[in-house]
Structure 1
Amino acid sequence: MKLVFLGPPGAGKGTQADKVCAEVNIPHISTGDLLRQAIKFETPIGLSAKSYIDKGQLVPDSVVIAMVQERLAQKDCQGGFLLDGFPRTIEQAEALEGITGLDAVIDIEVPDENLVRRLSGRRVCMRCSGTYHIDALTGNTCPKCGNELTQRADDAPETVLNRLSVYHKQTAPLIEYYRGKGLLREVDGAQPLETVFADIMSALGQIK
């Protein structure tokens, strides 16, 4: 099964992708992880990507596409894969189409106000790296080590709204692109974790 997962920051895309991959036994390919690995191991693609990042520039499509193509050519992808974080643009989607076909594109939809609540409510412990949500806390100290909890800069409400605005602007055309190809399956990500997973598996079960 060849899948792409779309969804805004905070939609629980990574969690659901892991569960689906374990269920259908395919690799979970996160382009963010691929990029970090390529840079860490100083592969030719990694060095190329690093040269752009070091200048504060976006990694060009050509580099990202080459990295994804290289990963999809590996043996464990022969029976399928789940792409998370790619494609992000129509150009990337068209390039992916030139590399491989897809069985479905899962779009996990969550209202922006829910996402702002989810993300801006996150607190992290700088000592033990624990991550918590204010809804589950009784104070502002880490339940594990007692250290004071802080909010990451990119979890501030105004930053979250900006990230969501960028996501919608970038991804809206992509959603329509895949809808037009009959590949899009929309799932309500505001539901409980297990319900979202059940809905995804139900959508995948309908693939002819």
Structure 2
Amino acid sequence: MLNLVLFGPPGAGKGTQSAKIKEKYNLVHLSTGDLLRSEIKAGTELGLKAKSLMDQGQLVPDEVVIGMIDSKLKENKAANGFIFDGFPRTVEQAKALDTLTEQNNTSISGMVALEVDEEELTTRILERGKTSNRADDQNEELIRNRVQEYENKTAPVADYYKAQDKFKSVYGVGSIEEIFDKLCSAIDSL
């Protein structure tokens, strides 16, 4: 079973690339952002709480995200593997993900990180904001806050996977196909 953590700051291209990886490797794509947005759209209690935090550029609490991931793992027991997109965001979540995968008789194969500088990220997200209808994609201050949140809280997760020799870095600037080819090389080397 191939279980990938696709990593990178907001706007790095995780959503675009995970769709291509999902197709090539026949994996289930688990995007915490998509899961949360579907809860928001459905108007659930979780969705309303998540929306309030996301609108401020803050992260949703671990126990909420971990619970959503656990239920998705259980719903997809026959999968060839998973792409975790936007999860784990903290070392605590990475440890919880290791526990969840172990409980499901599997493990994380590796983390592949898209590396993109802050100016490029800001430009990409503002451009995406013209069509995404997401308030957090249309405000430069919120975007920079999200990138800073990533740097402060999420980047240490890379060290967690580096310590397990499960980390690969890919330069995330170029054409979609060029980046995809680099990602596939990294995935195939795991």
Give structure 1 stretches of 5+ with no counterpart. Answer: 125-129, 132-149
The total of aligned residue pairs comes to 180
For 1:82 and 1:151, the matched residues in 2 are separated by 23
Verify: 1:7 aligned to 2:8, yes or no: yes
- Bigger helix fraction: 2
SS in structure 1 opposite 2:11?
coil
Alignment partner for residue 162 of structure 2, among 174, 179, 198?
Answer: 179
Identity %: 39
* Equivalent residue, structure 2, for 1:21: 22
The worse-fitting range, judged by mean Cα deviation, of 23-32 and 58-67 is: 58-67
SS in structure 2 opposite 1:86?
coil
Please say if residues 26 and 77 of structure 1, whose CA atoms lie closer than 8 Å, have aligned partners that are also in contact: no
Q: CA RMSD in A?
A: 2.8
For 2:129 and 2:16, the matched residues in 1 are separated by 18
Q: TM (normalized to structure 1)?
A: 0.75
1:204–1:55 CA distance, 2 compared to 1 (3 A): closer
Verify: 1:190 aligned to 2:173, yes or no: yes
* Equivalent residue, structure 2, for 1:139: none
Please say if residues 9 and 164 of structure 1, whose CA atoms lie closer than 8 Å, have aligned partners that are also in contact: yes
Q: Deviations over 1:105-125 (max 9, x none)?
A: 11000111222232334562x
For 1:121 and 1:40, the matched residues in 2 are separated by 23
Bigger relative CO (Cα 8 Å, ≥ 6 apart): 2
Verify: 1:103 aligned to 2:132, yes or no: no
1:115–1:50 CA distance, 2 compared to 1 (3 A): closer
Q: TM (normalized to structure 2)?
A: 0.81
* Equivalent residue, structure 2, for 1:163: 146
1:176–1:114 CA distance, 2 compared to 1 (3 A): same
